[in-house]
Structure 1
Amino acid sequence: MEFAFILLAFACGFGAKLLGLPTLIGYLTAGFVLNYLGYKSTEDLQTLADLGITLMLFTIGLKLNVRDLLKKEVWLGSISHTVIWITFVNLVLAGLAWVGLEIFATLDFFTHSLLAFSLSFSSTVCIVKILEESGEIKTRHGKLAIGVLVMQDIVAVLFLVVATGKIPSVWAPLLLLLFFIKPIWAKILEIVGHGELLVLSGFMIALGGYQLFELVGIKGDLGALIVGMIIAKHVKSAELSKALMTFKDLFLIGFFLTIGFSALPTLDLLLTAILLCILIPVKFLLFFKLFLMLRLRARTSYLASLVLSNYSEFGLIVVALLVSLGWLTAQWLVIFALAVSFSFVITGLFYKSSHNQYTKYKDLLRNFEKTERLKEDAYIQPDDAQVIVIGLGRVGKGAYTSLNAIIGHKVWGMDADPMRIKNLTDEGFKAMVGDGEDVDLWENMDLSHVELILLALPSIDDICNITEQLKHAGYKGKIAAIARYEDEIQPLLDAGSDKVFNFFTEAGIGFAEESLHLLPSRNLTNKD
Structure 2
Amino acid sequence: MEPGSVLSTYPLTLSTAFLLGFLARQVGLPPLIGFLAAGFIFHAFGLKPDPTIAILADLGVTLLLFTIGLKLKIHNLTRPEVWAGATGHAVITVLVFSLGFILLSAVGIETFAAINPGQAVLVAFALCFSSTVFAVKVLEEKGEMLSLHGRTAIGILIMQDIFAVLFLTASTGKLPSLWAVPLLAALLLVRPVIYYILNRCGHGELLPMFGLFAALAVGVATFDLVGLKPDLGALALGMLLAKNKRASEIADNLFSLKELFLVGFFVQIGLAGLPGWQDIGLAIFLVLLIPLKVVLFFLLLTRLRLRARTSFLASLSLANYSEFALIVGAVGVANGWMNPSWMLIIAIALAISFVAAAPLNQISHRLFCLLHDRLQKYEGPQRHPEEYPIDLGEAVVAIFGMGRVGSGAYDFITGDFGEVAVGVENNTNKVSEHRSKGRLVVHGDATDPDFWLRARHDKLRMILLAMPEHQANLYALRQLKEGGFEGYIAALAKFPDDAAELERAGAQVAFNLYEGAGSGFAAQVEPLLAEMLGDNPRDRLHNEP
Q: Please indicate, yes or no, whether the TM-score normalized by the shorter chain is above 0.5.
A: yes
Tell me whether 325-334 or 149-158 shows the greater mean CA deviation.
Answer: 325-334
Q: Give the Cα–Cα distance (whole angstroms) in 2 for the partners of residues 487 and 422 of structure 1.
A: 34
Q: Give the Cα–Cα distance (whole angstroms) in 2 for the partners of residues 526 and 359 of structure 1.
A: 58
Q: Deviations over 1:195-244 (max 9, x none)?
A: 10001000000112011001100011111111101110111111111000
In the alignment, which residue of structure 1 is the partner of 2:401?
391
1:304 partnered with 2:319 = no
1:523 partnered with 2:531 = no
- Please say if residues 390 and 454 of structure 2, whose CA atoms lie closer than 8 Å, have aligned partners that are also in contact: no
- Please say if residues 36 and 266 of structure 2, whose CA atoms lie closer than 8 Å, have aligned partners that are also in contact: yes
- Please say if residues 416 and 433 of structure 1, whose CA atoms lie closer than 8 Å, have aligned partners that are also in contact: yes
In the alignment, which residue of structure 2 is the partner of 1:407?
417
Q: Give the Cα–Cα distance (whole angstroms) in 1 for the partners of residues 410 and 367 of structure 2.
A: 32
Amino acid at match of 2:172: T
- Please say if residues 443 and 473 of structure 1, whose CA atoms lie closer than 8 Å, have aligned partners that are also in contact: no
Q: Deviations over 1:148-192 (max 9, x none)?
A: 011111111111111121310010012121111111111111111
In the alignment, which residue of structure 2 is the partner of 1:320?
330
1:156 partnered with 2:167 = no
2:123 to 115, 125, 131: 115
Q: Give the Cα–Cα distance (whole angstroms) in 1 for the partners of residues 413 and 21 of structure 2.
A: 42
Q: Say what the alpha-carbon RMSD is for the aligned residues.
A: 1.3
TM-score by length of 1: 0.98
Q: Give the Cα–Cα distance (whole angstroms) in 1 for the partners of residues 445 and 401 of structure 2.
A: 9
1:377 to 361, 378, 387: 387
In the alignment, which residue of structure 2 is the partner of 1:490?
500
2:360 to 331, 335, 350: 350
1:9 partnered with 2:20 = no
In the alignment, which residue of structure 2 is the partner of 1:202?
211
Q: Which runs of 5+ in 2 are unaligned?
A: 1-6, 540-545
Q: 1:524 Cα shift?
A: 4.4
Q: 1:446 Cα shift?
A: 2.2
Q: Which runs of 5+ in 1 are unaligned?
A: none
Amino acid at match of 1:495: A
Amino acid at match of 1:394: R
In the alignment, which residue of structure 1 is the partner of 2:196?
187
Q: Give the Cα–Cα distance (whole angstroms) in 2 for the partners of residues 38 and 276 of structure 1.
A: 27
In the alignment, which residue of structure 2 is the partner of 1:69?
77
Q: 1:421 Cα shift?
A: 0.9
Q: Give the Cα–Cα distance (whole angstroms) in 2 for the partners of residues 252 and 497 of structure 1.
A: 35
1:93 partnered with 2:101 = yes
Counterparts of residues 142-153 of structure 1 (less than 5 Å)? 142-153=150-161
In the alignment, which residue of structure 2 is the partner of 1:132?
140
In the alignment, which residue of structure 2 is the partner of 1:245?
255
- Please say if residues 439 and 473 of structure 1, whose CA atoms lie closer than 8 Å, have aligned partners that are also in contact: no
Aligned length: 528
1:213 partnered with 2:219 = no
- Please say if residues 160 and 166 of structure 1, whose CA atoms lie closer than 8 Å, have aligned partners that are also in contact: no
Give the ranges of 4+ consecutive aligned residues of structure 1 lying more than 3 Å apart after TM superposition: none
- Please say if residues 457 and 463 of structure 1, whose CA atoms lie closer than 8 Å, have aligned partners that are also in contact: yes
Q: Give the Cα–Cα distance (whole angstroms) in 2 for the partners of residues 346 and 7 of structure 1.
A: 24
1:249 partner SS: helix
1:439 partner SS: coil
TM-score by length of 2: 0.95
Tell me whether 355-364 or 415-424 shows the greater mean CA deviation.
Answer: 355-364
- Please say if residues 14 and 23 of structure 1, whose CA atoms lie closer than 8 Å, have aligned partners that are also in contact: yes
Amino acid at match of 1:301: S
Q: 1:521 Cα shift?
A: 5.8
Amino acid at match of 1:322: G
Q: Give the Cα–Cα distance (whole angstroms) in 1 for the partners of residues 239 and 452 of structure 2.
A: 33
2:32 partner SS: helix
1:414 partner SS: strand
Instruction: State, as a whole percentage, how many aligned pairs show the same letter.
Output: 42
- Please say if residues 312 and 368 of structure 2, whose CA atoms lie closer than 8 Å, have aligned partners that are also in contact: yes
Q: Give the Cα–Cα distance (whole angstroms) in 1 for the partners of residues 103 and 505 of structure 2.
A: 50
Q: Deviations over 1:258-301 (max 9, x none)?
A: 00111111111111100100100000000000111111111110
